[in-house]
Amino acid sequence: MEKEDLIEALRARFPAEVEAYAESYGDQTLVVRREALRPLMTALKAAPFDYALLLDATCVDFLASESRLEMVYHLYSLSRNRRLRIKASLPGDNPVVDSLVGLWKNADWLEREVFDMFGVAFMGHPDLRRILMYEGFEGHPLRKSYPWRKEQPRIPLKD
């Protein structure tokens, strides 16, 4: 399936939810509304799109007032040998997006990492807590508002 077919098929099913399509250095990118993320991903995982692999999920902090954070997902289709990037904007305060744990199992740790680093809450995640930083760490270190060299006090030893 070529990219035009893909876009048409997606637009037909999600007319309002797909906000834009772009190509950046040859990478196909879809910008979608965050409410539609989960149904769209469900459709993309199934035939005929068949994006079986969630390669990666991460976030970018753009420091803008309206849509500060942007979730970035990379999908890969084994049968069609194609990659796809999905983006969804989130507000800076109280960013919430649907969890994809039900669709891909590695979304569990990926979303925990995004929560840890950016403070994005994932609705429906079974066990949303920090993964790389420790409990008791304050703030979300990959946000642009977090100073690079900021130090935090030592935490007491665990028993």
Under the binding rule (CB under 8 A), the answer on residue 139 touching other proteins is no
Question: Minimum CB separation from other proteins for residue 18, in Å?
Answer: 18
Q: Which residues between 40 and 79 bind other proteins (CB under 8 A)?
A: 52-56, 58, 60-61, 72, 74, 78
DSSP helix/strand/coil, 111:
helix
DSSP helix/strand/coil, 98:
strand
36, 83, 91, 121: which one binds other proteins (CB under 8 A): 83
Question: Minimum CB separation from other proteins for residue 126, in Å?
Answer: 10
**Span from 7-15, 34-42, 88-96, 131-139 in contact with other proteins (CB under 8 A):** 131-139
11 within 8 A of 18, measured Cβ to Cβ:
yes
